[in-house]
Amino acid sequence: MIPIISISNLVNTLVMAALAVRLIYKLRQNHHDGLMYLAGFYIALTGFWAFRAMPGILTDNPYTVMATNLVSYVFLYVATTSLLQVPFIFIDRRHWGVILGILNVMVGLIFVIGRFLNPVPHLPIVIVPYVFWQETYPLLLRALTGISTFTSTTIFMGVFFYLGHKERDNTIIYRRSMYLASGMLFLVLASFIFFLASTGGFVVSILASGSCIVGAYLMLRGISYESPKEPAVPPTP
């Protein structure tokens, strides 16, 4: 059987790791707190996908799969906490990001404790020729993760769409903001497909992976965007 979901998650892991390395390199060249938290977001997202890639590739024990799934969510909450800091740094309201980050960490702790109190093994589900492992835990805990992810991504998109619109006469700020907000929109789409629509099929898994890769690349494109160089003007004779 082909662990198609895990394979697509492995692809996401490799892409995220490559983008994280590139962002860290850029951060070393030009240190900025916003870049630092974005680097933390990419690193945590790499860990999230890496642990979700393990079932069927490194392990197929239902209890081990349950453990790797739980650890992946720890990385996800780290990612959303880091992400919450970024927009407030750019609008000079860092204390709001800190407050929301603390609340997000508390939600994450509730989620982890809830999972420990409901240790249900993740059993394999076969849809020939594919196999994937079904997550099994209370709906309330799923809602907590959904609220965390929706809040962090919506705030991020909203702030950068606002900054882009506000500074639409400034090409650099406008395009950077639009790239960042649009990239996050693709990541939200990837999350929706992955968590709500994916049932182990090849096409749906590829759509989720593709959306994630496109979103991460667009965000990095926004971070790296520079003003096009003006063509050299020959000196007047």
145 near 110, Cβ under 8 Å?
no
- CA distances (Å), 228 to each of 33, 61, 225, in order? 25, 53, 9
Which pTM value belongs to this model?
Answer: 0.87
Amino acid sitting at position 224:
S
* 229: pLDDT strictly greater than 80: no
What are the tens digits of pLDDT across the range 55-109? 989 988 999 999 999 999 999 999 999 999 999 998 999 999 999 999 999 999 9
65 near 131, Cβ under 8 Å?
no
* 234: pLDDT strictly greater than 70: no
Q: Which two tokens stand for residue 73?
A: 């969510």
What are the tens digits of pLDDT across the range 178-212? 999 999 898 888 777 766 654 445 566 677 778 88
What are the tens digits of pLDDT across the range 123-139? 888 888 888 887 778 88
pLDDT at 195: 62
* 44: pLDDT strictly greater than 70: yes
pLDDT at 66: 92
Q: Per-residue DSSP letters for 88-132?
A: HHHTT-HHHHHHHHHHHHHHHHHHHHHHHHS-----EEEETTEEE
Q: Which of 32, 33, 63, 10 is nearest to 212 (CA)?
A: 10
Domains observed in the chain = 4-224 (1.20.1070)
